[in-house]
Structure 1
Protein backbone atom coordinates (compact mmCIF):
# COMPACT_ATOMS: atom_id res chain seq x y z
CA UNK A 1 0.00 0.00 0.00
CA UNK A 2 1.37 3.39 -1.00
CA UNK A 3 2.26 5.72 1.87
CA UNK A 4 1.18 9.25 1.02
CA UNK A 5 3.18 12.08 2.55
CA UNK A 6 3.18 15.85 2.63
CA UNK A 7 6.37 17.79 3.29
CA UNK A 8 6.73 21.21 4.95
CA UNK A 9 9.81 23.36 4.33
CA UNK A 10 10.86 26.91 5.17
CA UNK A 11 14.08 27.30 3.20
CA UNK A 12 16.42 25.47 0.87
CA UNK A 13 14.53 22.18 0.89
CA UNK A 14 17.62 19.97 0.77
CA UNK A 15 16.13 17.37 3.13
CA UNK A 16 12.94 17.32 1.06
CA UNK A 17 15.01 16.95 -2.10
CA UNK A 18 16.99 14.06 -0.59
CA UNK A 19 13.79 12.25 0.42
CA UNK A 20 12.25 12.70 -3.04
CA UNK A 21 15.47 11.48 -4.67
CA UNK A 22 15.63 8.41 -2.41
CA UNK A 23 11.99 7.57 -3.22
CA UNK A 24 12.75 7.74 -6.94
CA UNK A 25 16.06 5.83 -6.74
CA UNK A 26 14.57 3.01 -4.68
CA UNK A 27 11.21 3.03 -6.48
CA UNK A 28 9.74 3.16 -2.99
CA UNK A 29 6.00 2.85 -2.50
CA UNK A 30 5.84 6.40 -1.13
CA UNK A 31 4.15 9.31 -2.86
CA UNK A 32 4.80 12.98 -2.06
CA UNK A 33 1.43 14.66 -2.56
CA UNK A 34 2.53 18.21 -1.75
CA UNK A 35 5.36 20.40 -0.53
CA UNK A 36 4.21 23.48 1.36
CA UNK A 37 6.06 26.38 2.95
CA UNK A 38 5.48 29.33 5.23
CA UNK A 39 7.92 31.23 3.00
CA UNK A 40 6.75 32.10 -0.54
CA UNK A 41 10.36 32.47 -1.73
CA UNK A 42 11.63 29.20 -0.24
CA UNK A 43 13.99 27.45 -2.64
CA UNK A 44 12.36 24.18 -1.57
CA UNK A 45 9.15 25.16 -3.37
CA UNK A 46 11.07 25.69 -6.62
CA UNK A 47 12.84 22.33 -6.21
CA UNK A 48 9.50 20.60 -5.64
CA UNK A 49 7.93 22.22 -8.70
CA UNK A 50 10.93 21.14 -10.80
CA UNK A 51 10.12 17.56 -9.76
CA UNK A 52 6.43 17.93 -10.61
CA UNK A 53 5.26 17.98 -6.99
CA UNK A 54 2.30 20.27 -6.19
CA UNK A 55 3.26 23.17 -3.91
CA UNK A 56 1.46 25.58 -1.63
CA UNK A 57 2.34 28.69 0.33
CA UNK A 58 0.92 28.60 3.86
CA UNK A 59 -0.60 31.89 5.12
CA UNK A 60 1.40 32.09 8.35
CA UNK A 61 1.69 35.84 7.72
CA UNK A 62 -1.97 35.90 8.83
CA UNK A 63 -1.10 34.06 12.05
CA UNK A 64 -0.43 30.53 13.22
CA UNK A 65 -4.11 29.57 13.19
CA UNK A 66 -4.39 30.48 9.48
CA UNK A 67 -1.17 28.63 8.66
CA UNK A 68 -2.23 25.47 10.48
CA UNK A 69 -5.72 25.62 8.97
CA UNK A 70 -4.10 25.58 5.53
CA UNK A 71 -1.92 22.59 6.49
CA UNK A 72 -4.99 20.79 7.85
CA UNK A 73 -6.90 21.48 4.63
CA UNK A 74 -4.04 20.08 2.53
CA UNK A 75 -3.83 17.04 4.83
CA UNK A 76 -7.54 16.27 4.48
CA UNK A 77 -7.90 17.10 0.78
CA UNK A 78 -4.85 15.07 -0.25
CA UNK A 79 -5.45 12.24 2.23
CA UNK A 80 -1.88 12.03 3.45
CA UNK A 81 -0.68 9.42 5.92
CA UNK A 82 2.33 11.32 7.28
CA UNK A 83 3.53 14.91 7.47
CA UNK A 84 7.29 15.32 7.17
CA UNK A 85 8.88 18.50 8.50
CA UNK A 86 12.06 19.16 6.53
CA UNK A 87 13.53 22.40 7.77
CA UNK A 88 10.11 23.79 8.66
CA UNK A 89 10.83 26.58 11.13
CA UNK A 90 7.43 26.86 12.79
CA UNK A 91 6.25 25.29 16.03
CA UNK A 92 2.96 23.43 15.56
CA UNK A 93 0.29 23.83 18.23
CA UNK A 94 -0.53 21.07 20.67
CA UNK A 95 -4.04 20.96 19.26
CA UNK A 96 -2.79 20.33 15.70
CA UNK A 97 -0.22 17.77 16.81
CA UNK A 98 -2.80 16.05 19.04
CA UNK A 99 -5.12 15.49 16.07
CA UNK A 100 -2.27 13.80 14.20
CA UNK A 101 -0.36 12.07 16.98
CA UNK A 102 2.27 9.71 15.64
CA UNK A 103 1.86 11.07 12.10
CA UNK A 104 4.29 14.02 12.06
CA UNK A 105 8.07 13.57 11.76
CA UNK A 106 10.84 16.11 12.18
CA UNK A 107 14.60 16.21 11.78
CA UNK A 108 16.94 18.22 13.97
CA UNK A 109 20.69 18.91 13.47
CA UNK A 110 21.80 17.87 16.96
CA UNK A 111 21.56 14.90 19.30
CA UNK A 112 18.36 15.76 21.12
CA UNK A 113 17.64 16.52 23.87
CA UNK A 114 20.79 18.64 23.55
CA UNK A 115 20.73 21.87 21.54
CA UNK A 116 17.05 22.18 20.60
CA UNK A 117 15.79 25.19 18.68
CA UNK A 118 16.60 27.00 15.48
CA UNK A 119 20.37 27.17 16.06
CA UNK A 120 21.29 23.59 16.98
CA UNK A 121 24.50 23.54 14.96
CA UNK A 122 25.70 26.95 16.15
CA UNK A 123 24.80 26.18 19.77
CA UNK A 124 26.74 22.91 19.59
CA UNK A 125 29.71 24.63 17.95
CA UNK A 126 29.89 27.27 20.68
CA UNK A 127 29.65 24.60 23.40
CA UNK A 128 33.03 23.10 22.51
CA UNK A 129 31.64 19.56 22.89
CA UNK A 130 33.34 16.95 20.68
CA UNK A 131 30.26 15.16 19.28
CA UNK A 132 26.85 16.22 18.03
CA UNK A 133 24.73 14.63 15.35
CA UNK A 134 21.28 14.32 13.85
CA UNK A 135 17.95 13.27 15.36
CA UNK A 136 14.74 12.17 13.64
CA UNK A 137 11.74 12.21 15.96
CA UNK A 138 7.99 12.23 16.14
CA UNK A 139 6.58 15.67 16.83
CA UNK A 140 4.76 16.47 20.04
CA UNK A 141 3.61 19.80 21.48
CA UNK A 142 7.11 20.90 22.56
CA UNK A 143 9.94 22.22 20.41
CA UNK A 144 12.35 19.55 19.12
CA UNK A 145 10.86 16.98 21.44
CA UNK A 146 8.95 13.75 21.09
CA UNK A 147 9.82 10.06 20.69
CA UNK A 148 13.17 9.62 18.96
CA UNK A 149 13.09 7.39 15.88
CA UNK A 150 16.78 7.58 14.91
CA UNK A 151 19.99 9.36 15.84
CA UNK A 152 23.47 9.38 14.35
CA UNK A 153 26.56 10.96 15.83
CA UNK A 154 28.81 13.37 13.95
CA UNK A 155 32.20 14.12 15.50
CA UNK A 156 33.87 17.51 15.48
CA UNK A 157 37.32 17.03 13.97
CA UNK A 158 40.23 19.33 14.75
CA UNK A 159 40.31 20.60 11.15
CA UNK A 160 36.57 21.34 11.06
CA UNK A 161 35.19 24.83 10.73
CA UNK A 162 31.57 25.48 11.51
CA UNK A 163 30.93 25.40 7.76
CA UNK A 164 32.57 22.00 7.22
CA UNK A 165 30.84 20.62 10.31
CA UNK A 166 27.48 21.88 9.05
CA UNK A 167 28.12 20.18 5.70
CA UNK A 168 28.82 16.90 7.52
CA UNK A 169 25.58 17.29 9.50
CA UNK A 170 23.59 17.86 6.31
CA UNK A 171 25.14 14.84 4.60
CA UNK A 172 24.04 12.67 7.53
CA UNK A 173 20.58 14.26 7.55
CA UNK A 174 20.07 13.40 3.88
CA UNK A 175 20.68 9.70 4.59
CA UNK A 176 19.22 9.32 8.08
CA UNK A 177 15.87 11.03 7.44
CA UNK A 178 14.99 8.74 4.57
CA UNK A 179 16.07 5.62 6.48
CA UNK A 180 14.07 6.65 9.56
CA UNK A 181 11.04 7.51 7.43
CA UNK A 182 11.19 4.14 5.63
CA UNK A 183 11.53 2.28 8.92
CA UNK A 184 8.62 4.19 10.45
CA UNK A 185 6.37 3.53 7.45
CA UNK A 186 7.06 -0.21 7.87
CA UNK A 187 6.16 0.04 11.57
CA UNK A 188 2.81 1.71 10.99
CA UNK A 189 1.77 -0.20 7.85
Structure 2
Protein backbone atom coordinates (compact mmCIF):
# COMPACT_ATOMS: atom_id res chain seq x y z
CA UNK A 1 0.00 0.00 0.00
CA UNK A 2 1.29 3.47 -0.91
CA UNK A 3 2.26 5.79 1.93
CA UNK A 4 1.36 9.48 2.13
CA UNK A 5 2.72 12.33 4.23
CA UNK A 6 0.58 15.43 4.66
CA UNK A 7 2.12 18.86 5.25
CA UNK A 8 -0.17 21.45 6.87
CA UNK A 9 0.10 24.66 8.91
CA UNK A 10 -3.45 25.42 10.03
CA UNK A 11 -6.83 23.93 10.80
CA UNK A 12 -6.33 20.87 8.66
CA UNK A 13 -9.71 20.35 7.02
CA UNK A 14 -8.07 19.07 3.81
CA UNK A 15 -5.74 16.88 5.87
CA UNK A 16 -8.76 15.44 7.64
CA UNK A 17 -10.52 14.80 4.31
CA UNK A 18 -7.47 12.83 3.14
CA UNK A 19 -7.16 10.86 6.40
CA UNK A 20 -10.89 10.11 6.39
CA UNK A 21 -10.79 8.93 2.76
CA UNK A 22 -7.88 6.63 3.59
CA UNK A 23 -9.64 5.27 6.67
CA UNK A 24 -12.79 4.58 4.60
CA UNK A 25 -10.68 2.95 1.85
CA UNK A 26 -11.83 5.48 -0.77
CA UNK A 27 -8.16 6.42 -0.93
CA UNK A 28 -6.16 3.22 -1.13
CA UNK A 29 -3.17 4.55 0.78
CA UNK A 30 -1.98 4.95 4.32
CA UNK A 31 -1.38 8.38 5.81
CA UNK A 32 1.78 7.77 7.81
CA UNK A 33 3.05 11.24 8.73
CA UNK A 34 1.88 14.79 9.31
CA UNK A 35 4.53 17.49 8.98
CA UNK A 36 3.70 20.90 10.40
CA UNK A 37 5.71 24.07 10.94
CA UNK A 38 3.24 25.19 13.63
CA UNK A 39 3.23 22.84 16.63
CA UNK A 40 0.10 24.55 18.00
CA UNK A 41 -1.92 24.14 14.77
CA UNK A 42 -5.32 22.46 14.96
CA UNK A 43 -4.22 19.93 12.33
CA UNK A 44 -1.97 18.29 14.95
CA UNK A 45 -5.00 17.17 16.98
CA UNK A 46 -6.79 16.00 13.83
CA UNK A 47 -3.80 13.83 12.89
CA UNK A 48 -3.52 12.38 16.39
CA UNK A 49 -7.22 11.48 16.29
CA UNK A 50 -6.47 9.31 13.23
CA UNK A 51 -3.38 7.81 14.82
CA UNK A 52 -1.05 9.56 12.36
CA UNK A 53 2.51 10.26 13.51
CA UNK A 54 3.25 14.00 13.78
CA UNK A 55 6.49 15.84 13.14
CA UNK A 56 5.90 19.37 14.45
CA UNK A 57 8.88 21.68 14.12
CA UNK A 58 9.66 25.33 14.69
CA UNK A 59 11.61 26.74 11.73
CA UNK A 60 13.47 29.24 13.95
CA UNK A 61 14.99 26.33 15.88
CA UNK A 62 17.07 25.51 12.77
CA UNK A 63 19.94 27.55 11.38
CA UNK A 64 18.55 27.41 7.83
CA UNK A 65 15.69 26.20 5.65
CA UNK A 66 18.03 23.53 4.25
CA UNK A 67 18.60 22.24 7.80
CA UNK A 68 14.93 21.74 8.63
CA UNK A 69 14.26 20.34 5.16
CA UNK A 70 17.04 17.76 5.69
CA UNK A 71 15.28 16.74 8.92
CA UNK A 72 11.96 16.48 7.03
CA UNK A 73 13.56 14.37 4.27
CA UNK A 74 15.02 12.05 6.92
CA UNK A 75 11.58 11.63 8.52
CA UNK A 76 9.92 11.03 5.12
CA UNK A 77 12.51 8.41 4.23
CA UNK A 78 12.17 6.70 7.63
CA UNK A 79 8.40 6.51 7.09
CA UNK A 80 8.88 5.18 3.51
CA UNK A 81 6.68 7.96 2.09
CA UNK A 82 5.67 7.60 -1.57
CA UNK A 83 3.80 10.89 -2.00
CA UNK A 84 3.68 14.22 -0.16
CA UNK A 85 0.37 16.11 -0.10
CA UNK A 86 0.58 19.77 0.86
CA UNK A 87 -2.70 20.75 2.51
CA UNK A 88 -2.45 24.32 3.67
CA UNK A 89 1.29 24.21 4.29
CA UNK A 90 2.26 27.88 4.33
CA UNK A 91 5.91 27.56 3.30
CA UNK A 92 7.52 27.34 -0.10
CA UNK A 93 9.26 24.01 -0.56
CA UNK A 94 13.01 24.51 -0.97
CA UNK A 95 15.57 22.73 -3.13
CA UNK A 96 16.56 20.22 -0.42
CA UNK A 97 13.05 18.75 -0.20
CA UNK A 98 12.26 19.24 -3.90
CA UNK A 99 15.42 17.39 -4.89
CA UNK A 100 14.67 14.45 -2.64
CA UNK A 101 11.00 14.13 -3.66
CA UNK A 102 10.96 15.51 -7.18
CA UNK A 103 7.65 14.74 -8.91
CA UNK A 104 6.22 13.35 -5.66
CA UNK A 105 4.91 16.52 -3.99
CA UNK A 106 1.45 17.86 -4.79
CA UNK A 107 -0.38 20.93 -3.53
CA UNK A 108 -3.98 22.07 -3.42
CA UNK A 109 -4.83 25.71 -4.14
CA UNK A 110 -8.21 27.47 -3.82
CA UNK A 111 -8.37 29.02 -7.30
CA UNK A 112 -8.19 28.03 -10.93
CA UNK A 113 -4.47 28.48 -11.45
CA UNK A 114 -2.76 30.35 -12.97
CA UNK A 115 -5.30 32.91 -11.70
CA UNK A 116 -5.01 34.13 -8.09
CA UNK A 117 -1.74 32.57 -7.03
CA UNK A 118 -0.34 32.88 -3.52
CA UNK A 119 -2.03 33.86 -0.29
CA UNK A 120 -5.72 34.79 0.08
CA UNK A 121 -6.74 33.38 -3.30
CA UNK A 122 -10.43 33.20 -2.34
CA UNK A 123 -10.46 36.87 -1.32
CA UNK A 124 -8.52 37.78 -4.46
CA UNK A 125 -11.15 36.11 -6.66
CA UNK A 126 -14.03 37.59 -4.69
CA UNK A 127 -12.64 41.14 -4.84
CA UNK A 128 -11.90 40.77 -8.56
CA UNK A 129 -15.64 40.11 -9.05
CA UNK A 130 -15.00 37.12 -11.31
CA UNK A 131 -17.94 34.81 -11.98
CA UNK A 132 -15.97 31.61 -11.57
CA UNK A 133 -13.09 30.38 -9.47
CA UNK A 134 -12.30 26.91 -8.23
CA UNK A 135 -9.73 24.46 -6.95
CA UNK A 136 -6.44 23.34 -8.47
CA UNK A 137 -4.22 20.41 -7.56
CA UNK A 138 -0.72 20.67 -9.00
CA UNK A 139 2.75 19.23 -8.70
CA UNK A 140 5.10 21.43 -6.70
CA UNK A 141 8.08 23.10 -8.30
CA UNK A 142 10.36 25.89 -7.08
CA UNK A 143 7.77 28.61 -7.74
CA UNK A 144 4.63 29.61 -5.85
CA UNK A 145 1.64 27.74 -7.29
CA UNK A 146 3.42 27.31 -10.64
CA UNK A 147 3.89 23.54 -11.01
CA UNK A 148 2.16 21.34 -13.60
CA UNK A 149 -1.60 21.11 -13.02
CA UNK A 150 -3.00 17.67 -12.21
CA UNK A 151 -6.70 18.46 -11.65
CA UNK A 152 -9.07 21.42 -11.47
CA UNK A 153 -12.72 21.91 -10.61
CA UNK A 154 -14.91 24.97 -11.01
CA UNK A 155 -16.78 26.88 -8.30
CA UNK A 156 -19.27 29.51 -9.45
CA UNK A 157 -19.42 32.78 -7.54
CA UNK A 158 -23.06 33.75 -7.10
CA UNK A 159 -24.29 37.30 -6.58
CA UNK A 160 -25.38 36.50 -3.00
CA UNK A 161 -22.04 34.90 -2.06
CA UNK A 162 -19.84 36.38 0.64
CA UNK A 163 -16.20 35.47 1.21
CA UNK A 164 -17.44 33.08 3.92
CA UNK A 165 -20.00 31.29 1.72
CA UNK A 166 -17.51 31.13 -1.16
CA UNK A 167 -14.91 29.64 1.18
CA UNK A 168 -17.36 26.92 2.24
CA UNK A 169 -18.18 26.10 -1.39
CA UNK A 170 -14.49 25.87 -2.27
CA UNK A 171 -13.71 23.70 0.76
CA UNK A 172 -16.50 21.30 -0.18
CA UNK A 173 -14.89 20.85 -3.61
CA UNK A 174 -11.40 20.53 -2.09
CA UNK A 175 -12.49 17.83 0.34
CA UNK A 176 -13.90 15.76 -2.54
CA UNK A 177 -11.31 16.52 -5.23
CA UNK A 178 -8.06 16.12 -3.27
CA UNK A 179 -8.53 12.52 -2.06
CA UNK A 180 -9.87 11.48 -5.48
CA UNK A 181 -6.91 13.07 -7.27
CA UNK A 182 -4.42 11.49 -4.87
CA UNK A 183 -6.00 8.11 -5.59
CA UNK A 184 -5.65 8.72 -9.34
CA UNK A 185 -2.00 9.71 -8.93
CA UNK A 186 -1.18 6.72 -6.74
CA UNK A 187 -2.83 4.24 -9.07
CA UNK A 188 -1.22 5.69 -12.21
CA UNK A 189 1.54 3.38 -13.41
CA UNK A 190 3.81 6.12 -14.74
CA UNK A 191 3.23 8.42 -11.79
CA UNK A 192 4.52 7.61 -8.33
CA UNK A 193 7.16 4.89 -8.37
TM-score, normalisation: structure 2: 0.93
Deviation of the 1:26 alpha carbon = 2.5
Report the Cα distance in structure 2 between the residues aligned to 1:170 and 1:67, rounded to whole angstroms: 30
1:106 equivalent in structure 2: 107
Distance 1:165 1:52, change over 3 A: same
Report the Cα distance in structure 1 between the residues aligned to 2:117 and 2:97, rounded to whole angstroms: 21
Q: Which consecutive unaligned segments of at least 5 residues does structure 1 have?
A: none
Matches within 5 A, 1:125-136: 125-136=126-137
CA-to-aligned-CA distance 1:36-95 (integer Å, 9 cap, x gap)? 100011100111001111111123123422321221111111111011101000001134
Report the Cα distance in structure 2 between the residues aligned to 1:27 and 1:146, rounded to whole angstroms: 26
Matches within 5 A, 1:13-32: 13-26=12-25, 28-32=27-31
Report the Cα distance in structure 2 between the residues aligned to 1:59 and 1:162, rounded to whole angstroms: 31
Report the Cα distance in structure 1 between the residues aligned to 2:154 and 2:26, rounded to whole angstroms: 28
Deviation of the 1:155 alpha carbon = 0.6
Matched residues, number = 188
State the superposition RMSD in angstroms.
Answer: 1.3
Report the Cα distance in structure 1 between the residues aligned to 2:26 and 2:161, rounded to whole angstroms: 36
Report the Cα distance in structure 2 between the residues aligned to 1:12 and 1:158, rounded to whole angstroms: 28
Deviation of the 1:103 alpha carbon = 0.3
Report the Cα distance in structure 2 between the residues aligned to 1:14 and 1:6, rounded to whole angstroms: 15
| Structure 2 residue 156 is the aligned partner of structure 1 residue 155 | yes
**Which SS does the other structure have where 1:26 is aligned?**
coil
Report the Cα distance in structure 2 between the residues aligned to 1:58 and 1:140, rounded to whole angstroms: 22
**Which SS does the other structure have where 1:158 is aligned?**
coil
Deviation of the 1:159 alpha carbon = 1.0
Q: Which consecutive unaligned segments of at least 5 residues does structure 2 have?
A: none
TM-score, normalisation: structure 1: 0.95
